[in-house]
Amino acid sequence: MADKSPQAGLDPASSGVKAGLIVPPTEACSEYSPPPCSMVIFGASGDLVKRKLIPALLNLFRYNILGKRFFIIGVARTPMETAAFREAMRQGLADSGHLDSEAWPRFSEGIFYTHLDYGDTQAYSSLKDLIEEKERSFGTEGNRIFYLATPPTVYAPVIEALGAAGLNSSGSGWTRLVVEKPFGRDSSSARSLESVVHRVFEEDQVYRIDHYLGKDTVQNIMMLRFANSIFEPVWNRHYIDHIQITAAETLGVEKRAGYFEQSGVIRDMFQNHMLQLLTIATMEPPSLYESGLVTYERLKVLKALRPLPLDDIDSALVIGQYASGEIDGRPVLSYRDEEGVARDSKTPTYAAMKLYIDNWRWQGVPFYLRSGKRLKSQATEVVIKFRRVPHMLFGQMIQGEIGPNALILRIQPDERVQLKFHTKNPGSKMCLRDVVMDFSYMDGYDGVKMEAYERVLLDCMLGDKTLFISSEGMELSWAFLTPLLDLIDKGGPGAPPLDMYRAGGFGPAMADELMQSEGRGWRRWRDYE
C-alpha cells in the first residue's frame, strides 16, 4: 500500500524501516478489504496452520473482508492430495469449534496443496507454475504472501530456494515474506539468518510476526496513553513507581518439548512478546500513528535498555522450572517428566526479570517482567503502579491493606482496563478503602471482533507493518538478551540458580523476593481469578 504520510522519510529512515499505512480520518473506524492476493504456506501440515492460520483466514472470509480473489496453497513435505488437505483443515476447524458449515464450502474452493522437499530448488519451478496457474484463475494480480510456518531450521533453505526460482518477485504485483518466531536463538544466529533473508528479499518485503502485538488490547495501550490527557501527563518517572508485565500460562510444553528444550522461556517469550509489550507501554508518542514512526519510537526504547548486571545477576533475574503439581483439580507431570524432555533438564520454564530504561522519561523506574508455564492462572497484563502520595493525610483512617493506585491493562483472557484508587468508606466514619473502576473491552461493541492472527494477517495483506518486528528491533532484542542466555547456557559459577516450583502454584519464591527486597510486590494471584 502506498505511503500517504507527510512524515515519510524523516527520522524513521535512519532506523532502516519504511513508512507504511496511515488511515484516512473518514475510514478510521471501517475495516479495510485487502487487494486480491494469494498466500503460500510452508509447513502446511503442521499444527500452527490447523489451529491458527486457517481459522483466522476463514474468519476474514466470513467477515466479508477477504473476497473471492484470494487463494491458499499449502506446501509441506508430506505427500497429500488437495482433497485430503482440505478435509484435514475442515476436521481441525470442527475439532476446535471454529467450523462455519455455511462459509467453509465456498472458502475451501480456494485451498490447494502440493508437497516438495524444502531444499530441492528444482521442485520450486513446479510450485511457481502452480502459483501462476491459480493467479490466472483467481485474478490475484501477482500479489503473493509466502508464509513460513516451518521449524526455524528450514527458513534458510526455503528462502534461498524461493530466490533461486525467482519467486521473490512476481513482476506484476507485490511479494511478501512472513516469518514466525523464533528468528534465531541468539545474536549470531539471528544475524546469519538475516543475511540469508536480505540476499533474497528487501526489508520492506519481510514481515516478522509477533501475534501478541495483534491483540486489540495491546494496540489499545497506545490509544489509552496518547488519546487521553488524564493519562499521558502522569506516564513518567515523576508519577509511576514501577511497571509489571506478566504473561502467565497454566499450560505446560504440550507437544512442543523438542522446541522448548532448545529455547526455554527467555527465548520463547522475552526476546519477542515481553520486550515488545515493554516497548509499546514505554515508547514516546510518535508525531503520527504511522508504521514507520511507531517502529522508530519502539526501537528507541530497545536502544535505551540498561545492560543486565551479569556480575550480580541474582539481583535482576530469577529462573525456575515446574515440578509436578495440580491444575484445575487434576495432577500434572513435572517438566522433566514430559515426553521429549531430558530427565536432568536445566531449561527454565519461568523467568522474572528486573530491568531499567535509561532515558529521560523512565530514569530510575524499575520494570518487572515475568512469564512462566504451569502457573495457577492464565493472564497476560501490564500493570502500572503509581507512586504513593507524598504525605498520607488519612493514614489513621485506613482499614486493612491499602496499596498504591494502579492501572491494570488486561490483554488476555478477559480483555479489560481497571483503575484502582482510594475512596471513602460509606458511613459516618472517615475510613479509606480500595475500589476498582472496571471497563470490559468488548462492552457495548457489536462490530467485527478480530483475534490476533486475523489482525496481523490482514495487516500483512494491506502492507501495514505497524504490528510487525523490524530487522533492527529483532537485532536489538537479541543483543540485550544474548549475554544473559550465554551465562545461563554455560551454567557454573555466576549463573542464576534454577528454582523449582510446584505446577499450579505461584512460581518460584525467589521471584517474590526480587520485588519484596525493594518494598514492592507483584499483583496478587487471587486478583487474576
Which member of 98, 115, 211, 273 is catalytic? Answer: 273
CA atoms within 13 A on the CB side of 38: 30
Rounded to an integer, what distance in angstroms lies between the CA atom of residue 50 and that of residue 255?
14
Are the C-beta atoms of 339 and 369 separated by less than 8 Å? no
| Residues whose CB falls within 8 Å of the CB of residue 489, separated by 6 or more in sequence, listed in order | none
Which H helix or E strand runs over 395?
none
* Whether 38 contacts 135, CB under 8 Å: yes
Q: Are strands 144-148 and 37-42 parallel, antiparallel or unpaired?
A: parallel
Active-site annotation holds for 273: yes
Nearest to 302 by CA among 334, 273, 279: 279
Q: CB of 298 within 8 A of CB of 279?
A: yes
With beta carbons less than 8 A apart as the criterion, state whether 150 and 118 touch: yes
The residue type of 315 is: S
Beta strand 406-412 with 416-424 is antiparallel
Distance CA 399, CA 435 (A): 13
Burial bucket for residue 69 (CB in 10 Å: 0-12, 13-18, 19+)? middle
CA–CA distance, 282 with 303 (Å, rounded to integer): 12
Q: Cα dist. 232→225, 238, 415 in Å?
A: 5, 12, 21
DSSP single-letter state for residue 252: -
b/e map of 379-413 (b: 16 or more CB within 10 Å)? bbbbbbbbeeeeeeeeeeeeeeeeebbbbbbbbee
Q: From CA 457, how far away is CA 217, in angstroms rounded?
A: 17
Say how far residue 39 (Cα) sits from the centre of its chain: 21
Distance CA 333, CA 210 (A): 29
For residues 182 and 210, the answer to whether their CB atoms sit within 8 Å is: no
Of 157, 207, 93, 92, the C-alpha closest to 465 is: 207
CA-CA distance, 55 to 94, in Å (whole number)?
Answer: 10
User: From residue 150, how far is each of 11, 33, 73, 181, 368 by CA, in Å?
Assistant: 35, 28, 15, 10, 32
Query: Which positions are annotated as active-site residues?
Result: 273
